[in-house]
Amino acid sequence: MEHITLNNGVRMPILGFGVFQIQDADECKTAVVNALDSGYRLIDTAASYMNEQAVGEALRQSDIPRDELFITTKLWVQDSGYEKTKQAFARSLERLQLDYLDLYLIHQPFGDVYGSWRAMEELYEEGKIRAIGVSNFQPDRLVDLITHNRVTPAVNQVETHVFCQQLESQAIMQEHHVQIQSWGPFAEGKNNMFHNDVLLGLGEKHKKTPAQIILRWLRQRDVVAIPKSVHLNRMEENIAIFDFDLTEEDMKEIQSLDTNESLFFSHRDPKMVKAIGTNRRDI
């Protein structure tokens, strides 16, 4: 597995395994076990996914040394604020059955973000988290957070795929030494992604699947990706991207697919902000 180095010197796998929408405990545990057996070392979950416990059980079942794993989870909106963040972090750590986290993210840019960040800075400085970051922060929100706090986020996890490439956002992140990470690298198959003519053509050229072309494209942009699958053959396919290179011409061809728009929703839509802010979960 190849790695990138975060702004605090911590090394992070360039490709990981996500567990969003795998809520069945047994299915999630099996998926994580299979992912680890397939060579993944970065596992990405969140309190709001309701599967931290299953992930923790899979990790305990594995004989992979803890220092070879990179475990990420996230703070949900209703737990924002200084005190609630400390409490939510402790609950996540208990469910994951871990002594520390490799990466802890503010899941959404809403609520008492500053109170949460102060708590996370303290947890980071106490050695309970190796790196702290954010998710779904637009460039203005990210720069504002950086400007008014001591610790710069190590990661910003945002929707990034061939139809929403985040080129301008990535440039701003690079300027501020924040690592971009892709959620939804396959966009849940929207826009008929796996049958796209450009991706099919590049797949034929390199003898790879469209999914492998997408993940290789992200890797060559230095974007960390966390594809999800509950199927072992897809997990193995997704990790087999380190034996070929896309040419500069290939990369430009994929860049032509960018619509510069989300295929899901805008984090600047007031209705969506309200919906996320009132989506209370017992986590």
d(CA 190, CA 264): 9
> What's the pTM?
0.96
Q: Read off the pLDDT of residues 226-267 as tens digits, 9 standing for 90 and up.
A: 999 999 999 999 999 999 999 999 999 999 999 999 999 889
Tell me the per-residue pLDDT of 96-155, one tens digit each, with 9 for 90 and over.
999 999 999 999 999 999 999 999 999 999 999 999 999 999 999 999 999 999 999 999
Mean pLDDT, rounded, of the chain: 97
Long-range interactions of 24-30: CB distance < 8 A, separation 24+: 25/51, 25/53, 25/54, 25/57, 26/54, 27/230, 28/54, 28/55, 28/58, 29/54, 29/55, 29/57, 29/58, 29/61, 30/58, 30/230
The pLDDT-based confidence of 272 (bands split at 50, 70, 90) is: confident
Confidence (pLDDT) at 189: 96
Q: Which pLDDT value is given to residue 281?
A: 62
The reply to whether 49 belongs to the active site is yes
Domains of the chain, CATH where assigned: 3-277 (3.20.20.100)
Token pair 């796996």 in the structure block, residue: 194
Q: Which of 49, 100, 104, 124 is catalytic?
A: 49
24 φ, ψ (degrees, to nearest 5): -65, 125
Gyration radius (Cα) of the chain, Å: 18
pLDDT at 168 over 70: yes
Indicate the pLDDT class of residue 278, thresholds 50, 70 and 90.
confident
Q: Cα torsion for 164, 170, 172, 178, to the nearest 10°? A: 130
Q: How many residues does the chain have?
A: 283
Residue % of the chain over a pLDDT of 90: 93
Q: Provide the token pair at 42.
A: 């970065």
pLDDT at 280 > cutoff 90: no
> What's the pLDDT tens digit per position in 38-85?
999 999 999 999 999 999 999 999 999 999 999 999 999 999 999 999
Q: Is the pLDDT of residue 277 over 90?
A: no
Give the separation between CA 128 and CA 123, rounded to whole angstroms.
5
Share of the chain above pLDDT 70, in %: 99
CA nearest neighbour of 31 among 240, 235, 237, 187: 235
